[in-house]
Amino acid sequence: MNSAIQHEPLHIEQLETSHWPTTIQRPTYYRLVFIQTGRGELIINGKQLVYQTGDVFFLGPADKHSFKNIQKTSVYSLWFTGPYISSLMTTHVDLWPHIQAYRAPLSGTLIANPTEQRTLLLLVEILVMERQRLCPLLANPVVESLMKTILSLVDRHLAQHSISVSARSTTPSVFIQRIVAYINQHITEPGLLRMEKLADVFNYSASHLGALFKQQVGESIQQYIIRYKLKQVEARLSLSTMTISQIADEFGFSDVCHLNKLFKRYYQHTPTNYRRSTALF
């Protein structure tokens, strides 16, 4: 968003590129990012998220974001300010409470259901058509109606994310978060992720550490390691040209057959077939 329009309370733009070189932050704007096509990594406040076609991301005024390892990507970006939201509240001051209470970025796409993704994208495309017809976005009853619907859908999904988080029986303690951070940091070093090594690093018996982790996270340490490792494999398959053998070696699989077996168990495809199915043409 260039400086000439950065003070507009509502703005929408469509971008298509293979490279966003800078970190983007607009301290007075909320932002919805709609991935029309493409794959890559979206970095929000230093946290790396893999995106794909259909994903919708919601960001607040304090969030910094940038793109990385992009395959040609087309996005809609919808920017709006807090005062603009307030201007739409003609009757109910408590509309969209989860947007107004938003503090921390989500750990993934706002909407996972493809049908609901398409519904929201259609509303945004109508906004784009209004702009292309040179109709003003402000004081435009069509735009106001569309924005109220969009904000209501976003608020509903933010509420669902909030309920999902609060419904978890326990929140991982700071200690468990340290274990997870250690695992993530050393995910390509299998020797440092053996149960005996973890127990030694965190000064617990292996059995006690394993029980504590499963109680708070809901799965065993080894299950978490496998899932996280395969998530990184998925990213390599989608975003790099590394061979399957190179990927298997990077993450410490005994051989390609071992990687194939585990990956197919979790993704119902071999790594090779998964890469073919996600390739952009």
Q: Long-range pairs for 26-30 at CB < 8 Å and ≥24 separation?
A: 26/1, 26/61, 26/79, 27/61, 27/62, 28/61, 28/81, 28/82, 29/61, 29/79, 29/80, 29/81, 30/58, 30/59, 30/60, 30/61, 30/79, 30/80, 30/81, 30/82, 30/85, 30/99, 30/102
Amino acid at 127: L
- pLDDT digit string, tens, across residues 106-126: 878 888 888 889 999 999 999
Q: What is the pLDDT of residues 40-65, one digit of tens each?
A: 888 888 888 888 899 999 998 888 88
Options 3.30.710.10, 1.10.10.60, 3.90.700.10, 3.10.580.10; which CATH number does 174-278 get? 1.10.10.60
Cβ 80 vs Cβ 10: under 8 Å: yes
Question: Could you state, in order of their start, the residue ranges of all structural domains in the chain?
Answer: 10-167, 174-278
Asked if pLDDT for residue 24 goes beyond 90, the answer is: no
Tell me the pLDDT tens digit for each residue of 198-223: 999 988 889 889 988 988 888 899 99
* pLDDT more than 90, % of the chain: 38
pTM: 0.58
Report how far residue 233's alpha carbon sits from residue 237's, in angstroms, rounded to the nearest whole number: 6
**Whole-number mean pLDDT of the chain?**
84
Q: Where does the pLDDT of residue 21 fall: very low under 50, low under 70, confident under 90, or very high at 90 and above? A: low
- pLDDT-based confidence at residue 4 (cuts at 50, 70, 90): very low
Backbone angles phi, psi at 146, to 5 degrees: -65, -45
Q: CA nearest 78: which of 174, 17, 154?
A: 154
* pLDDT, position 93: 57
- Please tell me the predicted confidence (pLDDT) of residue 1: 46
Quickly name the fold that domain 10-167 has.
Jelly Rolls (2.60.120)
- Decide the pairing of beta strands 40-44 and 65-68: antiparallel
Output 193 or 94, whichever has higher pLDDT.
Answer: 193
What pLDDT is attached to residue 168?
Answer: 46
What is the Cα–Cα distance from 264 to 249, expressed in whole angstroms? 18
Q: What is the pLDDT of residue 58?
A: 93
Q: Tens of pLDDT along 162-197?
A: 655 554 444 567 888 889 999 999 999 999 999 999
A 10 A CB-CB count for 233 gives 24
Helix axes 271-278, 221-239, angle to 10 degrees: 50
